[in-house]
């Protein structure tokens, strides 16, 4: 039997004017990031609706969440089986799923979008949600590379729009980047930041600049590692061992690129290169391009710089 119940309409009283705290959260997109955000929101007491385009995607995400939440419970409660079981069942009971994005926002305090990194697709989605969501609902994108301002352009609520950028794996990584555009109101910014804290994250504030803080530093570093390897200066394994043991990183850069997804890394870099073609750090990597063209995206496809059991 599935842990998850189907989408039910929440009571109208829950759609009342914006309260201090965000309670009802809709997460659009059930990929790695969307599922992780939905999971952590449910674990931290929020009422969550996770949305994707079809049941296949939703079912896959439910399986991932079930596995991950067991790991979280084990870490949190150790051998206390009863407490762990209660934590898991209460968390999943707070999580409903839907394949109807428009219906899913009718009582949302916050919508977090984590769908495909395509500006037009995101704008189309938000334009539709803007018509359906209550006026108090805050909209946020988890985009890792697109301009929040350009996405917000599709809506009539730029003052209630911002970026909430999480890190993979969401249940483990402690950081949340809270991104504001010039129109983001102080109330909206504070509500997003406070929600991040309620999710158990440490928040940092950032303007709507390419890569925000982490990716602006991380992606050029990862690509420099690929270039080091492409030049034949060191092997993938030695580069990874070096950064783990010499710099104390949990993963080496090539392992991390496999983990994040070579396609994601390439997408981010290509976007920056297009906007700033002369910047050396943003130059495309022929090796990454070749691997992505061959469908070698890293962990998720079973091969990148290394080979994995296919997920």
Among 97, 144, 188, 285, binds ligand 3HC (CB under 6 A): 144
Q: Does residue 311 touch ligand 3HC according to CB under 6 A?
A: no
Query: Is 215 tagged catalytic?
Result: yes
Residue with the two structure tokens 């697109």: 146
Q: Does residue 68 touch ligand 3HC according to CB under 6 A?
A: yes
Angle between helices 236-247 and 253-260 (to 10 degrees): 100
187: nearest Cα among 150, 161, 205, 153: 161
**Contact predicate 144/29, CB 8 Å:** no
141: nearest Cα among 171, 173, 182, 178: 178
What is the DSSP-derived secondary structure letter of residue 135? T
Query: Is 185 tagged catalytic?
Result: no
Beta strands 138-141 and 202-207 are unpaired
Residue 217: strand, helix, or coil: helix
Q: Does residue 256 touch ligand 3HC according to CB under 6 A?
A: yes
Residues 6 or more apart whose CB falls under 8 angstroms from that of 56 comprise none
Q: Which residue is closest to ligand 3HC by CB?
A: 144
Q: Does residue 139 touch ligand 3HC according to CB under 6 A?
A: no
Among 79, 182, 232, 250, binds ligand 3HC (CB under 6 A): 250
- Residue 16 tokens read as 């009342």
d(CA 8, CA 11): 9
Q: Does residue 260 touch ligand 3HC according to CB under 6 A?
A: yes
CA torsion 221-227-229-231 (nearest 10°) is: -150
- 165, 255, 285, 303: the active-site residue: 165
The nearer residue to ligand 3HC, 159 or 270, going by C-beta atoms, is 270
**Region from 66-74, 98-106, 107-115, 201-209 binding ligand 3HC, contact rule CB under 6 A:** 66-74
Query: Is 165 tagged catalytic?
Result: yes
Among 167, 272, 282, 305, binds ligand 3HC (CB under 6 A): 167
- Residue 155 tokens read as 């809506």
Query: What's the min distance (Å) between Cβ of 240 and ligand 3HC?
Result: 11
Residue 165: strand, helix, or coil: strand
The nearer residue to ligand 3HC, 19 or 118, going by C-beta atoms, is 118
Query: Is 249 tagged catalytic?
Result: no
- 91, 104, 142, 144: the active-site residue: 144
Residue 150: strand, helix, or coil: helix
The nearer residue to ligand 3HC, 130 or 240, going by C-beta atoms, is 240
Q: Does residue 75 touch ligand 3HC according to CB under 6 A?
A: yes
Active site residues: 144, 165, 177, 215
Q: Which residues bind ligand 3HC (CB under 6 A)?
A: 68, 71-72, 75, 144, 167-169, 171-173, 215, 218, 250-251, 256, 260, 264
């Amino acid at each position: 039997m599935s842990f998850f119940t189907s989408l039910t309409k929440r009571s109208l009283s829950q759609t009342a004017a914006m309260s201090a705290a965000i309670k009802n959260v809709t997460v659009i997109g059930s990929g790695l990031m969307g599922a992780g955000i939905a999971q952590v929101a449910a674990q931290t007491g929020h009422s969550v609706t996770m949305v994707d385009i079809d049941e296949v995607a939703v079912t896959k995400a439910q399986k991932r969440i079930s596995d991950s939440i067991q790991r979280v419970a084990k870490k949190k409660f150790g051998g206390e089986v009863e407490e762990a079981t209660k934590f898991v069942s209460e968390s999943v009971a707070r999580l409903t799923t839907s394949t109807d994005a428009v219906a899913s926002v009718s009582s949302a305090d916050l919508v977090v979008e984590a769908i495909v990194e395509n500006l037009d697709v995101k704008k189309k989605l938000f334009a539709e949600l803007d018509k359906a969501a209550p006026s108090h609902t805050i909209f946020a994108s988890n985009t890792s590379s697109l301009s929040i301002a350009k996405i917000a352009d599709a809506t009539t609520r730029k003052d209630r729009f911002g970026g909430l950028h999480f890190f993979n794996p969401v249940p483990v990584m402690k950081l949340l980047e809270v991104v504001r555009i010039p129109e983001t109101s102080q109330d909206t910014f504070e509500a997003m930041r406070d929600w991040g804290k309620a999710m158990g994250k440490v928040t940092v504030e950032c303007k709507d600049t390419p890569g925000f803080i982490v990716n602006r530093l991380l992606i050029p570093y990862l690509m420099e590692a690929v270039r080091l390897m492409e030049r034949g200066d060191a092997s993938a394994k030695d580069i990874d061992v070096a950064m783990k043991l010499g710099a104390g990183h949990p993963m080496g850069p090539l392992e991390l690129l496999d983990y994040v997804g070579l396609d994601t890394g390439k997408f981010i870099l290509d976007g920056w290169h297009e906007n700033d073609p002369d910047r050396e750090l943003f130059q495309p990597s022929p090796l990454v391009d070749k691997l992505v063209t061959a469908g070698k995206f890293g962990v998720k496809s079973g091969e990148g710089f290394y080979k994995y059991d296919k997920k």
